[in-house]
């Protein structure tokens, strides 16, 4: 696709870039969105039966096994061209922040660093009582396993429905969004708050805002530039065009 010249010229002069990514980016790696993953053996369940604190209290084994199944899906996925392009884009600016709503760790596997994870990371496990990350435990046959420190049940380190966003990450995301020259909203519907507020905060703070998404979203009319397409196609083209613009 053709990247607008004005966009490239503005981006070439930027010192600080912030990116927000959503489920659309990971979907290109074959990672199903949350609701799309409710298929096969899990089709009879609703999100409220699998991804809430109440669900974990009612049936911790069911919730743990659901997330173990999702972990296997993520482990079998590979970073796609969008992940790789974002890792490369980060090397082109003095300040670059990558905020994601995804929990699969694919940005890090593609080479991105200091990723701000708003919804946690499915590859990590934490104590359901103390909230501490637990990397190893004895296999006693318990499902879920128990915290080796306090004996509470372990759970995936993700944000469930009805839980607040992690405060430190949300503060970092807000600061990165309100102190950047350029902001990208990529593969996200901009309907899940508070993350959906970040593009608007960047806009109010004077940043140039670009949306990359196959379909229009509620934010599309506000964006300075809206590039219709999948991130795995648009982002590599954008990085290539930006490098050419800087050489010109």
Return the CATH number at 24: 3.40.50.1220
pLDDT computed for residue 248 by the predictor: 74
CA distance 128 to 195: 24
When comparing pLDDT for 232 and 246, which is higher? 232
Catalytic residue, chosen from 83, 97, 107, 119, is 119
Q: pTM for the whole thing?
A: 0.94
The tokens for 86 are: 């974002």
DSSP sequence for 14-38: -SEEEEEE-HHHHHTTT---TTTT-
- Whether a cis peptide bond, with omega within 30° of 0, leads into 144 is yes
- Residue 96 lies in domain: 1-30+79-119+165-248
Query: How open is the CA angle 217-218-220, to the nearest 5 degrees?
Result: 65
Does residue 114 form part of some domain? Answer: yes
pLDDT computed for residue 38 by the predictor: 62
Does residue 153 form part of some domain? Answer: no
pLDDT computed for residue 247 by the predictor: 84
- 115-168: per-residue pLDDT in tens? 999 999 999 999 999 999 999 998 889 999 999 999 999 999 999 999 999 999
Domain count, the chain: 1
Does residue 135 form part of some domain? Answer: no
Average pLDDT (204-218) is 96
Active site annotation includes 107: no
Does residue 237 form part of some domain? Answer: yes
The number of residues making up the chain comes to 248
Average pLDDT (207-223) is 96
- 40-54: per-residue pLDDT in tens? 556 778 877 889 999
Does residue 37 form part of some domain? Answer: no
pLDDT computed for residue 104 by the predictor: 95
Does residue 214 form part of some domain? Answer: yes
Return the SS3 of 167: helix
Return the SS3 of 194: coil
Does residue 170 form part of some domain? Answer: yes
pLDDT computed for residue 40 by the predictor: 59
Q: Mean pLDDT across the chain, nearest whole number?
A: 93
The tokens for 130 are: 């103390």
| CB-count burial class (<10 Å; 0-12, 13-18, 19+) for 107 | buried
pLDDT at residue 10 greater than cutoff 70: yes
| Chain mean position to CA 6 | 28
Does residue 72 form part of some domain? Answer: no
pLDDT at residue 197 greater than cutoff 90: yes
pLDDT computed for residue 41 by the predictor: 57
């Amino acid at each position: 696709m053709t990247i607008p010249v004005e966009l490239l010229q503005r981006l070439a002069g930027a010192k600080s870039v912030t990116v927000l990514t959503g489920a659309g980016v990971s979907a290109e790696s074959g990672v199903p969105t949350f609701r799309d993953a409710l298929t096969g053996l899990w089709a009879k369940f609703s999100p409220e039966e699998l991804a809430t604190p109440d669900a974990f209290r009612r049936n911790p084994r069911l919730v743990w096994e659901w997330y173990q199944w999702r972990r296997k899906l993520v482990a079998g996925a590979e970073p796609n061209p969008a992940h790789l392009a974002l890792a490369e884009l980060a090397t082109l600016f003095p300040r670059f922040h990558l905020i994601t709503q995804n929990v699969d760790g694919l940005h890090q596997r593609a080479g991105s660093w200091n990723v701000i994870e708003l919804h946690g990371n499915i590859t990590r496990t934490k104590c359901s009582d103390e909230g501490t990350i637990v990397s190893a435990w004895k296999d006693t046959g318990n499902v879920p396993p128990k915290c080796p420190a306090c004996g509470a049940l372990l759970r995936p380190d993700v944000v469930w429905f009805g839980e607040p966003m992690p405060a430190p990450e949300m503060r970092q995301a807000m600061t990165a969004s309100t102190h950047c020259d350029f902001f990208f909203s990529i593969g996200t519907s901009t309907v899940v708050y508070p993350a959906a507020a970040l593009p608007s905060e960047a806009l109010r703070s004077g940043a140039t805002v670009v949306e990359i998404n196959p379909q229009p979203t509620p934010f599309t009319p506000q964006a300075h530039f809206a590039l219709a397409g999948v991130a795995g196609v648009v982002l590599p083209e954008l990085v290539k065009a930006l490098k050419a613009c800087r050489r010109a």
